[in-house]
Amino acid sequence: MDYKAQLLQRIENRSARVGIIGLGYVGLPLAVEFAKAGFKVLGFDVSKGRVAQVNRGESYIGDVKTEHLAEVVKSGHFEATDDFARLTDSDAVSICVPTPLRKTRDPDVSYIISATEQVRKYLHKGVLIVLESTTYPGTTDELMQPALAETGLKVGEDYFLAFSPERVDPGNPRFQTKNTPKVVGGTTPACLEVAGALYRTTIDQVVPVSSTRAAEMVKILENTFRAINIGLVNELAIICDKLKIDVWEVIEAASTKPFGYMPFYPGPGLGGHCIPIDPHYLAWKLKSVNYNARFIELASEINTAMPNYVVQKVTDALNSVERSVRGSNVLVLGAAYKKDISDVRESPALDVIKLLQERGANVAYSDPYVPDLHEEGIDLASVPWEGRLAEYDCVVIVTDHRAFDFSRVAQEARLIVDTRNATRGHAGLNVVRL
């Protein structure tokens, strides 16, 4: 039986049944795109709440409009379940599960392992399995393939295995799943051919590479590139501060260079579930070949020290008006890890709040996207800030949501530490910028 031809045909005529494991910020948009392309999609998630919300046509991911989700659920093109036995009904399965770090900063591939176990249990002839989660080079070959080989089925003939990194930029108004080029690497040429055919039905541009390891490394390069360049500008902010140079002016002027330069901006630290984490997957893997990824470690050192630097700026600012941190009322403006989203994972705001609380400040925060914070020992609810800034000895701008009116902040606040250059143009005497 030529399972490759059979699957290519099913992809071509959209009769292939698509399975998506993990209905988060990657899996849910992907499922909706495949459903819109005409496939019957079955989403798998361990969260009964998410499964129920999907089946009610209610989106819980900012980048997925409820009306689009409701449409494909109503048309019967998309259904969610927590019953993994239904993987037997899938012809093509994309695994979009989290790949966090453990507290020891080592990769936590437990979600990939459990998804692989489910896929192995229900593996059948003619199915394509694609791992999308960001992970260290070698995960598909060394962790997934051996587990699936235990079934006795032959990869590249009986079933197909590929890696295709997700490239989701949450909140990006311009690039979504469909118009973001998709890199694909196969365990065998047949695997690449089938995986490429699947994604071409849904995504404008597919970029084939020679192996799953190359595809895994592409994603790690993309995010390590960001982490290191953000580390560079964060250190530049500290250097410019010491040299009494405005780092924001310098970066803005450097950005006029039409070639060979790409702007990154200093900030309060590195948040999100990708950039602070993914480079450590590579650094961890390199330890097994006795190599120390110095750039990654150095950038991480600088980025993770930024919340401390911010709190030092707050201390200096309060000092300049003869106030101590202890007993001062400090408002943190913004809790999310970047503007216009609600995600607080790894958000530097949490570190800034905790560090200020440890120093005895009375800390409040305001974020229209984050109604309350019950993370990492913080127990706060967002407070309104308009017309209330005079109550605070210092305002720390951590997230530059477009929802904030920073000219009003600059007018009303007595003292501001602005880590995002959000008050540019309104810099009164009371604005201290990173």
Residues that bind ligand SAJ in the complex, under the rule CB under 6 A = 134, 166-170, 222-223, 226, 230, 264-265, 267, 270-272, 274-275, 337-338
Rg over CA atoms, the chain = 24
Is-contact 340 402, C-beta < 8 A?
A: yes
The nearest distance, CB 24 to ligand SAJ, in angstroms, is: 10
The nearest distance, CB 299 to ligand SAJ, in angstroms, is: 11
User: Considering beta carbons, is residue 346 or 393 the nearer one to ligand SAJ?
Assistant: 346
- With tokens 């973001």, the residue in question is 180
User: Considering beta carbons, is residue 166 or 393 the nearer one to ligand SAJ?
Assistant: 166
| Greatest extent of the chain over all pairs of C-alpha atoms, in Å | 81
The nearest distance, CB 326 to ligand SAJ, in angstroms, is: 29
Angle between helices 247-254 and 212-242 (to 10 degrees): 130
User: Considering beta carbons, is residue 4 or 219 the nearer one to ligand SAJ?
Assistant: 219
User: Considering beta carbons, is residue 185 or 272 the nearer one to ligand SAJ?
Assistant: 272
The nearest distance, CB 86 to ligand SAJ, in angstroms, is: 27
User: Considering beta carbons, is residue 337 or 404 the nearer one to ligand SAJ?
Assistant: 337
The catalytically annotated residue of 96, 191, 240, 274 is 274
The nearest distance, CB 276 to ligand SAJ, in angstroms, is: 7
User: Considering beta carbons, is residue 323 or 339 the nearer one to ligand SAJ?
Assistant: 339
User: Considering beta carbons, is residue 270 or 325 the nearer one to ligand SAJ?
Assistant: 270
The nearest distance, CB 267 to ligand SAJ, in angstroms, is: 3
Q: Sign (positive/negative) of CA torsion 286, 287, 291, 294?
A: positive
- With tokens 């209610």, the residue in question is 58
The nearest distance, CB 338 to ligand SAJ, in angstroms, is: 4
d(CA 262, CA 215): 24
User: Considering beta carbons, is residue 132 or 393 the nearer one to ligand SAJ?
Assistant: 132
**Judging by DSSP bridges, how do beta strands 380-381 and 372-373 pair with one another?**
antiparallel
Nearest alpha-carbon partner for 95 in 79, 78, 111: 111
User: Considering beta carbons, is residue 77 or 338 the nearer one to ligand SAJ?
Assistant: 338
- 274: annotated active-site residue: yes
The nearest distance, CB 272 to ligand SAJ, in angstroms, is: 3
The nearest distance, CB 304 to ligand SAJ, in angstroms, is: 12
d(CA 19, CA 79): 10
77 backbone φψ class: left, alpha, beta (φ>0; ψ -120 to 50): alpha
Active site residues: 274
